Amino acid sequence: MQKTALLAGATGLVGSQLLPLLLASGRYNRVIVVGRRPVPLVHPKLVQRILPFDQLEAHRLQLIADDVFCCLGTTLRQAGSREAFYRVDYLYVVTLAALTAANFAAQLLVVSALGASAASRFYYNRVKGEMEEALRPLPFRAVHFFRPSLLLGPRSEKRLGEQLGAVVLGALRPVLVGPLRQYRAMEAAAVARAMLHAAEQDTSGIHVHLSGSMGQKAAN
C-alpha cells in the first residue's frame, strides 16, 4: 500500500533536495509539504500546506502522514538571537513531531547535527541534543536522526565561514577515514538520499546516522 510523506523545511538545503526524491518515489502517492511559503512546483502527488509553524496545533488534522521528514533548521546568525534559533530548531521541530505522532505517523526522520548533545558546551549543539532527547520518547515506530558534518550544496546566501570550512575539510578528506569519516563535509543531496533510504527500510527503534554511514547508504 502506498503511503503519505510529510516534509517540513522543503525550501532549505536538505529539504529542497529531498522533495523531488519523495515525489519520484513509488513508496508515496501523496507528499505533503508544510511551510511558511509555497514551493514553486506543481506535481500530482504534491499537497502544499502553507502554515505558520507557531500555529501548528490549530492545523493538526492537516498533518496526517505515514513518514515525517523534518529538515527544519537555521543558524544563530540567520535567526538573529538565541531565542529565535531555539524557536525554529527546538520548538517547531518538537511540536511537529508531537502532533504527527499523535496522528499515528509511523516514522520520523530528522536532520540534526554532528556533535548534538544536551550536555554540549556549545549552544547550537546543545539545542540539537535537547531536541533529540525530546523526540526519543514519542510513540513513533522508528525515529531517525541524521547528523551530518558541514553541509555542502546550493544556498540562497553565501556563508564565508562555511565556504572556508568546506575548503579545509576538502583538503583533509584523504585523512578523514575510519572513525574520522563522520567529520567529512557532505553534500545535502547525499543526506536527502540517505533519509529516503532509511524510510524505505521500515525498521523500528532509534537510529543515529553519521556522515560516513549516510554516504554509504546514499550510494546504494
- Residues 108-138: pLDDT tens digits? 999 999 999 999 999 999 999 999 999 999 9
Please say if the pLDDT value at position 162 is more than 50.
no
Report d(CA 170, CA 184) in Å as an integer.
8
| Under 8 Å between Cβ of 38 and 48 | yes
| pTM for this prediction | 0.87
Residue 72's domain comprises 3-219
Report d(CA 78, CA 55) in Å as an integer.
21
Residue 44's CATH number: 3.40.50.720
> Which grid coordinates are listed for 58?
490549530
- Residues 70-103: pLDDT tens digits? 999 998 889 999 999 999 999 999 999 999 999 9
Domain count, the chain: 1
Above pLDDT 90, what percent of the chain?
75
